[in-house]
Amino acid sequence: MKHLKPLTIISTVLLTACTVGPDYERPDVALAAKYPEAQASVTAISAQWWKGFGDAQLDQYIEKALTANSDLKVAVARVEEASAGLDDVAGAQLPQIDATGGYSKSKVSAGGYNNLTDGRNRTVYRAGLATSFELDFWGKLRRATEGAKAQLLGAQEAQMQVELAVTSSVVRAYATLRSADIQARATEEVRAVREEERRVIEERFKVGSAGPNERAVAEINLAAAIAAQSDAARARAQAQHLLGFLIGQPDIVIANEARTPWQLPPVPAAGLPSDLLRRRPDIIVAEQALVAANARIGYAKASYFPTFSLTGNLGSESRSFSNLFSSSSGTSSLGVDLKVPLLDYGRTAARVEGAVAVQHQAAATYEKTVLNAFREVRDALVDVRETIQAAEAAVRREESSREAFRVAEAKQGQGQIGPLDFLLSRRLLAESQAAVAKVRYDRVMAQVDLIKALGGARVEVAAAKE
Q: How far apart are CA 320 and CA 387, in angstroms?
A: 90
Q: What is the pLDDT of residue 134?
A: 76
If you count DSSP H runs as helices and E runs as strands, how many of each does the chain have, helices first? 10, 4
Model confidence over 192-220: pLDDT tens digits? 999 999 999 988 888 888 888 988 999 99
Packing angle of the helix pair 140-207, 281-301 (nearest 10 deg): 150
**Please, which pLDDT band fits residue 65 given cuts at 50, 70 and 90?**
very high
Q: What is the DSSP letter of 433?
A: H
DSSP per position, 186-210: HHHHHHHHHHHHHHHHHHHHHHTSS
Residue 353 predicted with pLDDT over 90: yes
Residue 119 predicted with pLDDT over 70: no
Q: Which fold has domain 18-108+115-305+346-453?
A: Outer membrane efflux proteins (OEP) (1.20.1600)
Q: What's the helix, strand, coil split of the chain in %, to 5?
A: 65, 10, 25
Residue 39 predicted with pLDDT over 70: yes
DSSP per position, 107-144: E--TTSSTHHHH-SEEEEEEEEEEEEEEE-TTSHHHHH
Among candidate residues 347, 348, 361, the one with its CA nearest the CA of residue 294: 361
Q: How far apart are CA 187 and CA 189, in angstroms?
A: 5
Lowest mean pLDDT among 124-128, 142-146, 298-302, 377-381: 124-128
Share of the chain above pLDDT 90, in %: 41
Residue spans of the domains in the chain: they are: 18-108+115-305+346-453
Cα three-residue angle 320-324-325, rounded to 5 degrees: 155
Model confidence over 396-440: pLDDT tens digits? 999 999 999 999 999 988 888 889 999 999 999 999 998 998 999
Phi and psi (nearest 5°) for 305?
A: -110, 160
Q: What is the pLDDT of residue 355?
A: 92
**Please, which pLDDT band fits residue 171 given cuts at 50, 70 and 90?**
very high
- Side-by-side strand order, sheet with 96-107: 96-107, 121-135, 307-318, 330-339
Q: How far apart are CA 185 and CA 178, in angstroms?
A: 11
**Please, which pLDDT band fits residue 3 given cuts at 50, 70 and 90?**
very low
Model confidence over 363-390: pLDDT tens digits? 999 999 999 999 999 999 999 999 999 9
Integer angstrom CA distances of residue 186 from 48, 161, 181, 198, 466: 32, 37, 9, 18, 61
